[in-house]
Amino acid sequence: MSGLQDLKKNLFGGTTSVGRQFGMIFTLVAIILLFEVLTDGLTLTSGNLIAVVSQYSYILILAIGMLMVIVAGHIDLSVGSVAAFVGIVVAKAIQNFDLPWPLGIALGLVVGALIGAWQGFWVAYVGVPAFIVTLAGMLLFRGGNQFIGNADTVPVPEGFRTIGAGYLPEVGPATGYNNLTLLLGLIACLAVAWREWRSRKTRQEMGAEPAPLWISGLRLAVMVGVIIFATLRFAGGRVGTSLPVSGIILIGLVLIYSFYTRNTVSGRRIYAVGGNARAAELSGVKLQRVNFFVMTNMGILAALAGMIFVARSAASGPQDGLSWELDAIAAVFIGGAAVSGGLGTVSGSIVGGLVMALLNNGLQLMGVGVDLVQMIKGLVLLFAVALDVYNKSQGRFSIIDSITRPFRRDEPPAAVPPVESPRQTDKTPAAG
Amino acid sequence: MSAAPVLLEMRSITKTFPGVKALADVNLVVREGEIHAICGENGAGKSTLMKVLSGVYPYGDYSGEIRYRGEEARFGDIRASEQAGIVIIHQELALIPGMSITENIFLGNEPRTGLAIDWKTAQRRALELMKLVGLREDPDALVKDIGVGKQQLIEIAKAFAKDVKLLILDEPTAALNESDSQQLLDLLREFKTQGITSIIISHKLNEIEAIADSITILRDGRTIETLDVKADGVNEDRIVRGMVGRDMESRFPDHTPNVGEVFFEVRDWTVRHPIATDRLVCKHANFSVRRGEVVGFAGLMGAGRTELAMSLFGRSYGTWLSGQVFKDGREIKLRTVSEAIEHGLAYVSEDRKAIGLNLLDDIKTSIVAAKPAKIARHGVIDEVAEHRVAEDYRQELRIKTPSVDEGISKLSGGNQQKVVLAKWMFSDPDLLILDEPTRGIDVGAKFEIYGIINRLAEQGKGVVVISSELPELIGLCDRIYTVFEGTITGEVARADADPERLMKQMTTTKKMPV
Amino acid sequence: MSKFLTKAVAVGAAAVLALGAASCGNNREGEGQTGDAPAKGFAADSLIGVALPSKTSENWVLAGDLFTNGLKEAGFKSDVQYAGASTTVADQQGQISSMVTKGAKVIVIGATDAAQLSTQVKQAKEAGAVVIAYDRLITNTGDLDYYIAFDNFKVGQLQGQALLDGMKAKKATGPWTVELFSGSPDDNNSAVFFNGAMDVLKPLIDKGEVVVGSGQKEIKQTAIQGWKAEGAQQRMDSLLTSTYTGSKTLDGVLSPNDTLARAILTSIKGAGKPTPIVTGQDSEVESVKSIMAGQQYSTINKDTRKLVAETINMVKTLQTGGTPQVNDTETYNNGTKVIPSFLLPPVIVTKANAAEAYANDPKLSPLTK
Query: Per-residue DSSP letters for B127-145?
Result: HHHHHHTT--S-TTSBGGG
Residue of C87, C138, C188 for testing the chain A interface, max A β-carbons within 10 Å = C87
Among candidates C168, C245, C255, which has minimal Cα distance to C214? C245
Cα-based angle A387, A392, A398 (whole degrees, multiple of 5): 70
Cα-based angle C312, C316, C321 (whole degrees, multiple of 5): 145
Residue A280: which of B358, B402, B423 has the nearest Cβ? B358
Any A CB within 8 A of C312 CB:
no
Any B CB within 8 A of A171 CB:
no
Class of domain C152-302+351-358+363-368: alpha beta
Q: What is the mean pLDDT of residues A312-341?
A: 89
Domains of chain B and any CATH numbers: 6-244 (3.40.50.300), 262-506 (3.40.50.300)
Q: What is the mean pLDDT of residues A127-132?
A: 95
The domain locations on chain A are 11-166+265-410, 167-243
Provide the mean pLDDT of chain C.
Answer: 85
Contact C152, C300 (CB under 8 A): no
Can chain A be said to touch chain B, i.e. do they have 3 or more Cβ pairs within 8 angstroms?
Answer: yes
Q: CB–CB of A364 and C140 under 8 A?
A: no
Tell me which chain A residues have a C-beta less than 8 angstroms from the C-beta of C226.
319
Q: Judged by CB atoms within 8 Å, which residues 13-72 of A form the interface with C?
A: 42, 45-48, 51, 55
Q: What is the mean pLDDT of residues B87-91?
A: 83
Taking CA atoms, A167 is separated from A162, A180, A239, in Å, by: 7, 10, 10
CA of C196 to nearest chain A CA: how many angstroms apart? 20
CA of A414 to nearest chain B CA: how many angstroms apart? 7
Tell me which chain A residues have a C-beta less than 8 angstroms from the C-beta of C102.
42, 365
Q: CB–CB of B341 and A284 under 8 A?
A: yes
- Residue B465, classed as helix, strand or coil, is strand
Tell me which chain C residues have a C-beta less than 8 angstroms from the C-beta of A320.
89
Q: What is the mean pLDDT of residues A202-219?
A: 80
CA of C129 to nearest chain A CA: how many angstroms apart? 14
Rounded Cα distance, B385 and B374, in Å: 9
Which phi and psi angles does A429 have, rounded to 5°?
-70, 5
Q: CB–CB of B48 and A430 under 8 A?
A: yes
Q: Judged by CB atoms within 8 Å, which residues 16-45 of C form the interface with A?
A: 16, 18-20, 22-23, 26-31
| Angle separating helix axes C258-270 and C229-243, nearest 10 degrees | 40
pLDDT at A257: 96
> Where does B246-403 show beta strands of DSSP type E?
262-272, 280-290, 294-299, 319-327, 330-332, 345-348, 376-377, 380-381
Radius of gyration of the CA atoms of chain C, in A: 25
**pLDDT higher at A120 or A337:** A120
Q: CB–CB of C7 and A214 under 8 A?
A: yes
Rounded Cα distance, B487 and B509, in Å: 8
CATH of C37-144+304-345, one of 3.60.140.10, 3.40.50.2300, 3.40.50.150, 3.30.479.30: 3.40.50.2300
Tens digits of per-residue pLDDT, B471-496? 888 889 999 999 988 889 889 998 88
Report whether pLDDT(B168) > 70: yes
Residue C12: which of A146, A221, A320 has the nearest Cβ? A221
Q: CB–CB of A322 and C87 under 8 A?
A: yes
Tell me which chain C residues have a C-beta less than 8 angstroms from the C-beta of A228.
15-16, 19-20
Residue A343: which of B313, B338, B360 has the nearest Cβ? B360
Cα-based angle C234, C235, C240 (whole degrees, multiple of 5): 100
CA of A97 to nearest chain C CA: how many angstroms apart? 20
Report whether pLDDT(C334) > 50: yes
Residue A361: which of C83, C98, C220 has the nearest Cβ? C98
Q: Judged by CB atoms within 8 Å, which residues 183-222 of A form the interface with C?
A: 189, 193, 196-197, 200, 213-214, 216-218, 220-221
Report whether pLDDT(A331) > 50: yes
% of chain C exceeding 90 in pLDDT: 46
Can chain B be said to touch chain C, i.e. do they have 3 or more Cβ pairs within 8 angstroms?
Answer: no
Rounded Cα distance, B101 and A335, in Å: 43
Tens digits of per-residue pLDDT, C27-70? 565 544 444 444 568 888 899 999 998 887 777 888 999 999 99
Report whether pLDDT(B512) > 70: no
Q: What is the mean pLDDT of residues A361-385?
A: 87
Provide the mean pLDDT of chain A.
Answer: 83
Closest residue on chain C to A220 (Cα):
C8
ipTM of the complex, rounded to two decimals: 0.78
Tens digits of per-residue pLDDT, C102-138? 999 999 999 888 888 989 999 999 989 999 999 888 9
Report whether pLDDT(C81) > 50: yes
Q: Judged by CB atoms within 8 Å, which residues 211-270 of A form the interface with C?
A: 213-214, 216-218, 220-221, 224-225, 228-229, 232-233, 236-240
Tell me which chain A residues have a C-beta less than 8 angstroms from the C-beta of C23.
229, 232-233, 236
Contact C178, C231 (CB under 8 A): no
CA of A418 to nearest chain B CA: how many angstroms apart? 5
CA of C80 to nearest chain A CA: how many angstroms apart? 8
Q: CB–CB of B358 and A275 under 8 A?
A: yes
Tens digits of per-residue pLDDT, C150-199? 888 899 999 999 999 999 998 888 789 999 999 988 777 898 899 999 99
CA of A187 to nearest chain B CA: how many angstroms apart? 23
Among candidates A254, A256, A258, A263, which has minimal Cα distance to A202? A263
Residue A365: which of C3, C102, C126 has the nearest Cβ? C102
- What one-character DSSP code corresponds to residue C369? -
Any A CB within 8 A of B354 CB:
yes
Q: CB–CB of C90 and A55 under 8 A?
A: yes
Q: CB–CB of C119 and A370 under 8 A?
A: no
Any A CB within 8 A of C179 CB:
no
Residue A165: which of C20, C119, C140 has the nearest Cβ? C119
Rounded Cα distance, B334 and B343, in Å: 8
Residue A282: which of B45, B349, B400 has the nearest Cβ? B349
The domain locations on chain C are 37-144+304-345, 152-302+351-358+363-368
Report the 10 Å Cβ neighbour count for C325: 11
CATH of A11-166+265-410, one of 1.10.101, 1.10.3470, 3.30.160, 1.10.1760: 1.10.3470
- Residue C332, classed as helix, strand or coil, is coil
Q: CB–CB of A264 and B356 under 8 A?
A: no
Rounded Cα distance, A83 and A303, in Å: 5
Tens digits of per-residue pLDDT, B139-150? 888 888 877 778
Residue of A43, A365, A368 for testing the chain C interface, max C β-carbons within 10 Å = A365
pLDDT at A142: 92
Any A CB within 8 A of B207 CB:
no
Which chains are adjacent to chain A, needing at least 3 Cβ pairs under 8 Å? B, C
Query: Which of A212-216, A356-360, B119-123 shows the lowest per-residue confidence on average (mean pLDDT)?
Result: A212-216
- What one-character DSSP code corresponds to residue C223? B
Rounded Cα distance, C102 and C99, in Å: 5
Does residue C38 have a cis bond before it (omega within 30 degrees)?
no
Any B CB within 8 A of A265 CB:
yes
Tell me which chain A residues have a C-beta less than 8 angstroms from the C-beta of C114.
153
Contact C69, C164 (CB under 8 A): no
Rounded Cα distance, A238 and B360, in Å: 48
Provide the mean pLDDT of chain B.
Answer: 86
CA of B418 to nearest chain A CA: how many angstroms apart? 15
Rounded Cα distance, A298 and A304, in Å: 10
Among candidates C273, C320, C257, which has minimal Cα distance to C57? C257
Query: Which of A194-198, B42-46, B84-88, B288-292 shows the lowest per-residue confidence on average (mean pLDDT)?
Result: B42-46
Among candidates A98, A118, A95, A94, which has minimal Cα distance to A108? A94
Rounded Cα distance, C369 and C354, in Å: 9
Q: Which residues contact A65 (CB under 8 A, 6 or more apart)?
A: A76, A79, A294, A297, A298, A300, A301, A302, A328
Query: Per-residue DSSP letters for A185-239?
Result: HHHHHHHHHHHHHHHHHHHHHTTPPPPPHHHHHHHHHHHHHHHHHHHHHHHTSST
Rounded Cα distance, B425 and B371, in Å: 10
Residue C88: which of A196, A237, A319 has the nearest Cβ? A319
Q: CB–CB of A409 and B20 under 8 A?
A: no
**C37-144+304-345 and C152-302+351-358+363-368 in the same fold:** yes
Residue A323: which of C30, C86, C225 has the nearest Cβ? C86
Residue A265: which of B20, B347, B373 has the nearest Cβ? B373
